[in-house]
Amino acid sequence: IQDKVDSLTQQWKNLSDQSEERERWLTKLLALADRFWQDLADLSATLYDTQQIVMEGEPPAADTDSIRQTLSTMQNLREEIDSLQCDLDTLGILGMELMSACGDTDKPDVTKSMDELYCTWNNISKVWTERCTKLEETLESVQEHHTVYLRMLGWLDSAETRISDEFLVGVDLETVKQQLSDLKDFKRELYQQKVEVESLNHRTLSSLHKLCGETQREEIQGPLATFRERWDRLEGEIVNRQHQLESALLGLGQFQHTLDELFSWLAHTAKVLEAQRPISIDLQTCEIELAKHKVLQNDVTSHVRTVESVTQAGQDLLESSPGDNAESLESKLAELSERWEVVRSETMRRQLELENNLSQVQDVTMEMQDLLQWLEHVDLRLSSSKPVWGLPETAKEKLSIHLELCKEMDSKLYAYNDVRDTMHRLLANKDVPRGSNTEHSLNILEQKWECVHGKVQDRKAKLSEGVTIGTEFQSCAQELLRWMTQTEENLSALPPPSLLLDTASEQIQRHRLWLAEVNSYSEKLSAMEAMAIRLKDFSRKQDCTVIQNLLLTVRDRWATVSQHITERGRALEEAKKRAKQTNSKNEAKMKEEIPLTPRRCHYNPHRKSFKEFQKMVRSKRPMYEATLKSGRSLREKAQLPEDHQPLEDQLGELRDKWDTVCAKAMESIRQHKLEEALLFSGKFTDTLQALMDWLYRAEPQLSEEMPVGGDRDLVTNLIEKHKVFQKELGKRTGCIKTLKRSARDLARGTSADSQWLQEQMEELEARWETVCRLSVSKQARLEAALRQAEEFHSLVQSFLERLSESERTLKFGVVPEEEEALGEFQKLHQEFMKILDCQQMELECITSLGEEILSSCHPDSVIAIKSWVSITKTRFQEVMTWAGQQDERVQSALHMLAAEREDVDRLMDWMAAAEESLTLRDQEPLPDDMISTEELITQHMIFMEELTQKQPEVEKVTRSCKRKTTRENQATPTRRTSSKRRSVVKSQPAQQVPLTHLEAECPRLNQLLNRWQQLWFLALDRQCRLQGQLQGLRELEEFASFDFGVWRKRYMQWISHMKSRMLDVFRNIDRDQDGRISQQEFVENVLASKFPTNSLEMTAVANIFDINGDGFIDYYEFVSTLHPSRDPFKRSADADTIQDEVNRQVAQCNCPKQFQVEQVSSNRYRVS
């Protein structure tokens, strides 16, 4: 024993050491996990903030200092990004340590989180690189622009000084000629500078258009507009000075010289026009060619007065000196007029051709740039986000968002095809040079379109797969849960295992069919687990948690169902086994036969063998009693009513067979026959000795000191044994009488042994009377013990049944949260405690009765009685412990209810004061200045923050309220701030009144909810009115400095950005297509669009558009107001009339792809 104790102590010490070591390891692992996930959350937040800073940066500025400062800021941001990479690497090391310590099921979560962080960091680096590249390009463009601008500004200053000082009209012929020659050289230099300016200006402005914002472009275009005005004035001054010098030259009589100079200029200009380059599709080349042609056109325009002066001088000469020279002069004048018309018409044709080509290339280039910007935005959006799966609702939401992007891409497909077809049609022209920037941009556009389109389709397929897998996962989970619920109901409704062999076999057969169904559903569970693994790889963390919880719920339910089914199978097998054992024992006992020897000779040897046979019968009795006891136990435990009668029949048959065997082999019968045989054969002494031996053996079993108390089964067995003994005792009465007669006969016949025989008979009679008396006494004691055992058994069983009911009441009774229900529950609990007090008295009765039984208990029943007493005490202590815990929960709930009542009263007082304060503030008039209004808004926002801080307290006291139906939840009112001005005042997001989905059964809580919702309505209403007042004041302040020219410019830019024509805009407003719109229609349509304006501006704008004041705006008023240079009432030239008619006819086309009209020459058009 000491060795075992030492071994047990050593094992306990080892187990304690291992437990402490594992506890230390788990503590370190917990600290590591806390550190990893905390660092992960902090780093994720930092990466998100950094990504927002990088992506939401302002457009580059227009000055180099601001751009350099922005670049410096970006470099600092780069250092922060690099430091985040170090933090990311450190976190990766922690993640590897955590994955090496955690299980395989948790490793995918850590890996997925780290992959998401690395992907976010890579996206930040990519966006940072793109933004820095854009800033560097902007800086280079701005520097180049400033350099060219300063150089040209200096040249312009010197040119203005030179034109004002050097080219004054001289008084002699040579001076005028020299001035004309110098002026031509100056014009040539001016035109060369103009071409250079237009070329660099195009590159700078196109780069700024791509890289800078609207404000920065306006800052740059302001000085450029002033520069252009000065340049135009310089050109006009040069033209005027040229006309003055030519007029002076004519005045000095140099007509022929002027005419020759004019003819040489016309010849040179015609040669230049004939040598024009072919039409290009490069935007920069088109603008340079147009700028060169404008230089030529300005030169032609500057010679208009020269031609008119020379022609007028020639006409004067013809009139003053007719003759032979007159005919030659007239022919020269006619030739001059003809060549002038040719040059002017060719110049106009070339200009119109270049302008049409530039307009077409500009449209195509702008559309290409817009498409490229949109594709880059979509590409960045797709690269910065991953396909998200999850639950069907989340996956469908992501898929619907992506489908909107697909629809947007489909809507862009028409513009893309139109641009591509237009470019291919332009490239199909043999005269168009190849390798231009526009062609390169087209190739980039095609490649970008194919790349983005492929990504969009791949994302669509991935999200569709996610929706499919999520739907299948949810449906599979629901199907498994429904099946398991139904299986649990069926298991609970199944009959208990039968103790009959045939019935148990049938139940086992049905259970095997059930096991086959369970195996088929286990395959679905495996498929569900595989889908869950795939879903968690692409799902968000919260969806992964939901999926994991759902999977764990299914697994737990499956384990419970499998356990119940397994227990059911074991119970059926055990029942079948016990039924087989009982049947085999009964059959063995019934088939057993004990041979009897009916011979009446050789009595003494047979008597010895019979005694041996009696020992064998006594040895079989424990088996019989065990079989009988197990049969009674089966009968008591049988839960099927139809099993009771067959078991009772089998037990009765077993008892009958045993009684028959015992009756045939009873010692009294056989020994009585032997004793009679002995008596008949003269063996009187042997017979007397046999009777004396039997009485000596029976007397100790009948002693008063022999205990007969115990449990019911033992007392019943003792009574049955005593009945058998009484039968045997009654049967030996005849043997005693015969023996007495034989003794009297022997005493009369022989006098020698009469004394001894008399003593033996007296002893026999005394023993016989003692045994009979003890038998009667034992019968009475057994009956008293049986009554006591039955009373003890009934008390224990009824006590345990009531304890079971009390246990179920305590275990499954839930403490309610409502006040009334809690009061009722407290009353029931008090009554239950009284019942437990009564049961405690019953326990005392059981204990005292058990002790009384133990005082005279049979040794075989001591353990059973003590066990029942201990079980009753233990069960009662358990129930009392649970009752005490239930009482503590009730008291805790009462204390919480009282505290909740105090919180409700305090919140009601606060809400009453807040509501009164809001009512008083609403009664005060709103101020008319912005400062006071903003102060009121600030005060109200403080009140809203305080109201929001009270929200958790209200939710805490209303946590017991029920939720309303879905339809009521959908009808929850929300408050939105009014937004008459679009995109100017940032509209506040729609705020939802909280706790509208709750419905309280308690009147006090219902009053609290109504008061809370009313307070929110008042607060939101005041917030809406204050914001509306502030918005109105801002609109009035902005309207005070309203400039229609600025509004018109913004509106035209908005129309251009929407890729619409003015005719399309007018048609969209003109619903009835009557050619005119009312002022109200115009105002409502513009306010309903996304154009940033307000009602005050639109009222003034509508009055300006209505030129004739009839309350309506027709198309001509609409166009003339937006384009003041186009006067619809001005008498137009034939070419303008034709152009307008062509535009009107083309506008009547309602086809998705309208006519393509191209002007090929003066009053000549080509229609596709």
Provide the pLDDT confidence category of residue 969 given band limits of 50, 70 and 90: very low
Distance, in Å, from the CA atom of 94 to the CA atom of 39, rounded to the nearest integer, reads 10
How far does CA 505 lie from the centroid of its chain?
A: 51
What are residue 496's phi and psi, to 5 degrees?
-65, 165
**pLDDT exceeds cutoff 50 at 985:** no
pLDDT at 1147 over 80: no
State CA 857 to chain mean position distance: 71
How much is the average pLDDT of 588-602? 42
Task: Please name the helix (run of DSSP H) or strand (run of DSSP E) that holds residue 547, with its range, or none.
Answer: helix 541-591
What end-to-end distance do the CA atoms of the chain give, in Å?
113
Indicate the helix (H) or strand (E) that contains 268.
helix 255-274
Confidence (pLDDT) at 988: 45
**What's the average model confidence in pLDDT over 467-487?**
86
CA distances from 827 to 812, 820, 824, 833 (A): 17, 11, 5, 10
Provide the phi-psi class of 1131: left if phi over 0, else alpha when psi is between -120 and 50, else beta: beta
Which of these CATH numbers, 3.30.930.10, 1.10.238.10, 3.40.630.30, 3.90.420.10, describes 1044-1167? Answer: 1.10.238.10
Sorting pLDDT into bands at 50, 70 and 90, what band is 202?
Answer: low
pLDDT score, position 965: 45
Q: In the chain, how many H helices and how many E strands? A: 31, 8
User: What does the domain layout of the chain look like in residue ranges?
Assistant: 162-378, 386-591, 597-653+682-788, 927-1038, 1044-1167
The per-residue DSSP string of 173-222 comes to HHHHHHHHHHHHHHHHHHHHHHHHHHHHHHHHHHHHHHHS-HHHHHHHHH
DSSP single-letter state for residue 1018: H
pLDDT, position 599: 39
Bridge partners (DSSP) listed for residue 999: 962
Torsion angle in degrees (nearest 10) through CA of 1041, 1044, 1045, 1050: 90
Residue with more model confidence, 1001 or 730: 730
pLDDT for 119 equals 80
**The pLDDT value given to residue 990:** 47
859 pLDDT tier (thresholds 50, 70, 90): confident
Q: Rounded to an integer, what distance in angstroms lies between the CA atom of residue 1078 and that of residue 1112? A: 4
Is pLDDT above 90 for 11?
Answer: yes
In the predicted structure, residue 328 carries a pLDDT above the cut 70: yes
| Residue 998 three-state SS | strand
pLDDT tens column, 905-924: 888 888 888 888 888 888 88
| 1139-1148 own/partner pairs: CB under 8 Å, 24+ apart | 1147/1063
| pLDDT of 586 over the 70 cut | no
Give the burial class of 926: count Cβ atoms within 10 A of its Cβ; 0-12 exposed, 13-18 middle, 19 or more buried: middle
What is the pLDDT at residue 968?
Answer: 41
Q: Angle 299-302-304 (CA atoms, 0-180°, nearest 5)? A: 115
pLDDT (mean) for 1074-1082 = 85
375: nearest Cα among 460, 450, 438: 450
The pLDDT score that the predictor gives to residue 287 is 73
CA-wise closest residue to 864 among 731, 663, 711, 966: 711
162-378 and 597-653+682-788: identical CATH topology: yes
- State whether CATH 1.20.58.60 applies to domain 597-653+682-788: yes
Residue range 386-591, CATH number:
1.20.58.60
Q: Both tokens of residue 699?
A: 């007397």
DSSP conformation letters of 29-61: HHHHHHHHHHHHHHHHHHHHHHHHHHHTPPPP-
The backbone region for 58, taken as left when phi is positive above 0, alpha when psi lies in -120 to 50, beta otherwise, is beta
Distance CA 312, CA 318 (A): 10
This prediction has a pTM of 0.43
Measured CA to CA, the distance from residue 761 to residue 692 in angstroms comes to 10
pLDDT digits (tens, 9 = 90+) for 232-287: 777 777 777 666 666 665 654 556 667 777 778 888 778 877 776 666 667 667 77
**For residue 977, pLDDT beyond 60:** no
Count CA within 13 A, CB hemisphere, residue 692. Answer: 13
**Residue 687 · residue 679 · CB < 8 Å:** yes
At 196, list the tokens. Answer: 């250079």
Residue 1131 has pLDDT above 50, yes or no: no
Other Cβ atoms less than 10 A from the Cβ of 538: the count is 21
Helix (H) or strand (E) holding 647, with range, is helix 641-664
Residue 289 and residue 296: Cα distance in Å, rounded? 11
221 Cβ contact list (under 8 Å, min separation 6): 205
Band of residue 431 on the pLDDT scale cut at 50, 70, 90: low
For the segment 569-576, the average pLDDT, to the nearest whole number, is 82
Euclidean distance between CA atoms 378 and 405, whole angstroms: 9
Alpha carbon 616 to chain centroid, angstroms? 80
The class (CATH top level) of 162-378 is mainly alpha
Average pLDDT for residues 71-92, to the nearest whole number? 82
Q: Which residues contact 905 (CB under 8 A, 6 or more apart)?
A: none
* Low-confidence winner among 85-89, 331-335, 895-899, 1154-1158 (lowest mean pLDDT): 1154-1158
Name the token pair of 539.
């799902």
* Confidence category of residue 989, pLDDT binned at 50, 70, 90: very low
